[in-house]
Amino acid sequence: MELLERFAAGDLEAFEALFRQHQKEVYAWTVRIVRDSGIAEDLTVETFWRIYRARQRFDPVAGNFRAWARRIATNAALDHLKRARRETELSEDFPAPAHSDSAVNSELRGHLRRAFLELPPKYRLVATLALIEDEPYNEIAGAAGISAALVKVRVFRAVRMLRKKLSSLGLEAAAK
């Protein structure tokens, strides 16, 4: 029996083989969304736990395990963003790079950072992947289970929300 078929039938060894094959990729995808290595590790385990529990729904013949795993990882990351909307900034362990800008720029960056972290989770998810990580819209769409057109709309709205927020703070440089 093929690996995917054995996995779908509940074979733990097959699941371990799939876990070892895909854990790095799932982690790399998740950490780009949540931007915290510890949380990304926990979410990688959570993702595979969800995969294991849903194994009977996976079609080993027609199914694409990689795409399925990425979609579940995206949902797990989104659930995390929803839960930890307020605490995310504190938990981020990839520090912002040091700048030697003026006080005004420093203030702008601080407000931009805060405004970005305060975006509603579904907007933050697509904005992070599209604007920061340069992921193509169709990749984001596949992972989030929405259309590429909706990804585009959400990125547009996220940019508008950020500009509006910065504008309301009197920070026109990035908001115009």
Partner 1 sequence: MSNEMNHHENEKELQELLKREFPPLQNAELQHDLWPQMLRRLDAHAEPARVPWFDWALAAAVAAMLFLFPNALPALLYQL
Q: Which parts of this chain interact with partner 1 (CB under 8 A)?
A: 12, 16, 19-20, 23-24, 27-28, 31-32, 35, 37, 40-41, 44-45, 48-49, 52, 94, 96-97, 99, 108-109, 112-113, 116, 127-128, 131-134, 155-156, 159, 162-163, 174, 176
- Distance between CA atoms of 6 and 20, rounded to whole angstroms? 15
Contact indicator for 174, 112 with CB cutoff of 8 Å: yes
| Closest separation in Å from C-beta 137 to partner 1 | 13
- Distance between CA atoms of 8 and 172, rounded to whole angstroms? 54
- Joined tokens for residue 109: 């960056």
Kindly tell me which of 82 and 113 has the beta carbon lying closer to partner 1: 113
Contact indicator for 175, 166 with CB cutoff of 8 Å: yes
| Closest separation in Å from C-beta 61 to partner 1 | 25
Kindly tell me which of 29 and 144 has the beta carbon lying closer to partner 1: 29
Q: Give how far Cα 9 sits from Cα of 14, 51, 52, 68, 85, Å.
A: 9, 13, 11, 17, 37
| Closest separation in Å from C-beta 72 to partner 1 | 14
Kindly tell me which of 31 and 144 has the beta carbon lying closer to partner 1: 31
Kindly tell me which of 57 and 99 has the beta carbon lying closer to partner 1: 99
Kindly tell me which of 116 and 142 has the beta carbon lying closer to partner 1: 116
Please compute Rg for the chain using Cα positions.
19
| Closest separation in Å from C-beta 62 to partner 1 | 26
Give the Cα-Cα-Cα angle 106, 34, 54 (nearest 5 degrees): 170
Helix (H, G, I), strand (E, B) or coil at 97: coil
| Closest separation in Å from C-beta 78 to partner 1 | 17
